[in-house]
Homo-oligomer: A and B are copies of this chain.
Amino acid sequence: MPAGPTESADRFERPRVAVDTVLFAFQERRLKTYLVQLSRGPANGKWAFPGGLVRRGEMLDDAVRRELKISTGLTDAYLEQLFTFGDPSRDPDAHVVSVAYMALIPDPGRVSGPSPKYAAGGWFELSALPPLAYDHAVMAKYALKRLKSKLEYSNIAFALLPPIFTFAEFEELYSQILARPIDRRNFRRRILAMGLLRPLKETRRGAHRPAALYSFARQTLQMIEML
């Protein structure tokens, strides 16, 4: 005697608490985000950011990490709380208050397929998202806005880049995510002057002139006026 959606909703006296995670990675010179395809519920077939209900006694961050592990296999990511969405009609099935997080990782290749809980999972360019469930399109906009603004006044890029990278990769990340061209000379001068990056002695050899390698001076979030 399974409960239908409506009856199910009535079983809860209070709003439920969930977390949803907008996971970003920079891959093939593009910012991408990870989505899962729902296989049940009123939004069946639509895509969504991975998320789920918070358990009793669980920290919000722990709930995010748990869901991230289930959906992607990831055990480490930079996490930042974004906003809490509480419109009772955002999920037609029940009153779910969702705390949205942004997660950043340097290497999207490490992500394993989603759990059987979902029909599918994959990376999407932000300009070509499939139809999103609930209010997740709003979350996507909100997350991108936050990421853009943090790029301009913090060293948050460290969470999207591998430990060692070229200056061109660093600059490409900025110009792609901010969606505007960046003056190479001015940008390099400013970044190096503020000591954000640590120049390494090695270079990366490729098809052309070798590129000097850098790593971040600090791997923790620092607020700095950048642009």
Q: What is the interface residue range for chain A against chain B?
A: 20 to 34
| Residue contact B88 to A59, C-beta cutoff 8 Å | yes
Residues of B within 8 A of A84 (CB): 60, 81, 84, 99
Interface string of A44-65 (1 = CB under 8 A from B): 0000000001111111100000
Contacts A12-B56, A14-B56, A54-B97 known; list 17 others, CB within 8 Å: A14-B17, A14-B53, A14-B54, A15-B54, A15-B56, A17-B17, A17-B86, A56-B88, A56-B95, A57-B95, A59-B87, A59-B88, A60-B84, A60-B86, A60-B97, A84-B84, A86-B99
The answer to whether the Cβ of A16 comes within 8 Å of any Cβ in the partner chain is yes
The answer to whether the Cβ of A202 comes within 8 Å of any Cβ in the partner chain is no
| Residue contact A88 to B58, C-beta cutoff 8 Å | yes
The answer to whether the Cβ of A83 comes within 8 Å of any Cβ in the partner chain is yes
Secondary structure at chain A's binding surface: helix, strand, loop or mixed?
A: loop
Residues of B within 8 A of A86 (CB): 17, 54, 59-60, 99
| Residue contact A88 to B14, C-beta cutoff 8 Å | no
Q: How far is the CB of A86 from chain B (nearest CB, A)?
A: 4
Interface string of A61-79 (1 = CB under 8 A from B): 0000000000000000000
Give the top 3 A-B pairs by smallest Cβ distance, nearest first. Answer: A60-B86, A84-B84, A57-B88
| Residue contact A97 to B17, C-beta cutoff 8 Å | yes
* CB-nearest residue of chain B to A58: B88
Q: How far is the CB of A112 from chain B (nearest CB, A)?
A: 27
Q: List 10 A-B contacts (CB under 8 A).
A: A14-B16, A14-B56, A15-B54, A15-B56, A17-B97, A54-B86, A59-B86, A84-B99, A86-B99, A97-B97
Interface hits, A6-61 → B, CB 8 Å = 12-17, 53-60
Residues of B within 8 A of A58 (CB): 15, 88
